[in-house]
Structure 1
Amino acid sequence: MVGMQYKIIVPKTYDMNSIRDRVLKNGSKTDFFPGLLFKFYLITEKDKYKNIYNSYAPLYLWDKTEGMNQFIFNGFYDNILKSFGWQKINIGIPLNVKTDANLLKSKFAIECTGCIQETQKLNSAVFNLPQNNLSEKSIGEFLIYNPDKWAYSQFYFYEDIPDEVYVMENIKIYEILHISSKE
């Protein structure tokens, strides 16, 4: 299993409705894509839900790398290159994936990021995740780490944004425009 995300930061004056229209017209093209477990079409909008910038940041969870390679090298990712230019694709390894039967009803994703600190025993590695009930209220969550950077992202998925996230620091609140899945 592999996690993949590219985060395209667009200017604060960028019309985010163009992203919404893009996903509305093209989001279903990745439904049932070979090797894809989930693709979450994520956006942030400046000054909405605590966000400080506009972005388009699709998040993928691949069951098989062959599907990811097909997506990147067989013309599908070229649409991103044509529209937004050369983008860095962040790759990570899922350490923990929990999904609820309602995951496809998610409207929002919360991302908490951090670094895995140097340790003598990785089985005691510490992930500084929020110490609240974000997990019990979520309908899905993914912990994805990158050992090249010793960084991680914890994603929580919701139908509605929990009130407590508005007082939390160092999080991103994404709106989910579409979810593609193998189902």
Structure 2
Amino acid sequence: MHAMQYEITLPADYDMEIIRRRIATRGHLLDDFPGLGLKAFLIRERGETSPVDQYAPLYLWSAPEGMNAFLRCPGFQGIVDDFGRPQVQHWSGLSYLEGPSADAVPRTALRHRVRIEDSVRPAEAVEAALAEHRGTAASPGAVAAALALDPRLWELLHFTLWEHEPPGPVPGDRYEVLHLSAPERARLARTGQW
């Protein structure tokens, strides 16, 4: 499994209805994309839970060939043409788990990035993160959870899809899920394990 995300931060006066319409009319185009475990079409709007207006889709790839094919496809070129070429962040997958609400349509996503401090052994940090990840994935309302690592920055990515709002105060960036394409979601649990 590979995780990938790009963030398109928009001007404060940008009409987010444009992004909502774009996803409503084009989101289904990835519903059968080869190698795609899932793509969460995410936005956050400036206000109470976000400092910015942003379109920030997050992908979980079941195969690296799918990720590479996407980056050269007309759909991604459309993003480049309309918004400029975004910086594409990516992480190696450590674990993917389905939650108790796996059959529900996710409405909220939470992304939390954690840097592994220089004084901490990477393996110990990952083991602790995996324990936290298993607990999060088992929480009521969790649809699915992924844990991934960027060893260049020594950064852990915790990503969780929720049926509604996550329970209690939780750290990280909160997004609204406008669409979920998940053609190879079942393969994610079998790939990229630590």
- Tell me, yes or no, whether TM beats 0.5: yes
1:47 matched residue in structure 2: 47
1:130, 1:63 → 2: CA distance?
A: 23
1:18 matched residue in structure 2: 18
Describe the shift of the 1:128–1:23 C-alpha distance in structure 2 as closer, same or farther (beyond 3 A).
same
1:27-46 aligned at under 5 Å gives the runs 27-46=27-46
Describe the shift of the 1:4–1:104 C-alpha distance in structure 2 as closer, same or farther (beyond 3 A).
farther
Describe the shift of the 1:55–1:35 C-alpha distance in structure 2 as closer, same or farther (beyond 3 A).
same
In the TM superposition, residue 128 of structure 1 has moved relative to its aligned partner by: 10
Moved more, 146-155 or 116-125: 116-125
The answer as to whether partners of 2:136 and 2:145 remain within 8 angstroms in 1 is: no
AA at the equivalent of 1:113: R
1:159 matched residue in structure 2: 163
Please list every run of 5 or more consecutive structure 2 residues that lacks an aligned counterpart in the other structure.
Answer: 185-194
The answer as to whether partners of 1:107 and 1:160 remain within 8 angstroms in 2 is: yes
1:116-135 aligned at under 5 Å gives the runs 116-119=116-119, 121-125=121-125, 126-127=128-129, 134-135=136-137
1:99 matched residue in structure 2: 98
TM-score by length of 2: 0.83
Query: Is the aligned partner of 1:115 residue 2:115?
Result: yes
1:91, 1:162 → 2: CA distance?
A: 24
Describe the shift of the 1:162–1:2 C-alpha distance in structure 2 as closer, same or farther (beyond 3 A).
closer
Describe the shift of the 1:19–1:121 C-alpha distance in structure 2 as closer, same or farther (beyond 3 A).
same
Partner SS for 2:75: coil
Partner SS for 1:157: strand
In the TM superposition, residue 140 of structure 1 has moved relative to its aligned partner by: 1.1
TM-score by length of 1: 0.88
- % same residue: 30
Partner SS for 2:156: strand
Structure 1 moving runs of 4+ over 6 Å: 128-131
1:178, 1:111 → 2: CA distance?
A: 16
1:181 matched residue in structure 2: 182
The answer as to whether partners of 1:103 and 1:140 remain within 8 angstroms in 2 is: no
AA at the equivalent of 1:47: G
Moved more, 151-160 or 34-43: 151-160
In the TM superposition, residue 91 of structure 1 has moved relative to its aligned partner by: 0.8
2:121, 2:84 → 1: CA distance?
A: 41
Partner SS for 2:95: strand
String of CA shifts for 1:10-69, please: whole Å, max 9, x gaps.
111111110000000000000010100100000000114x11111000010111111111
1:83 matched residue in structure 2: 82
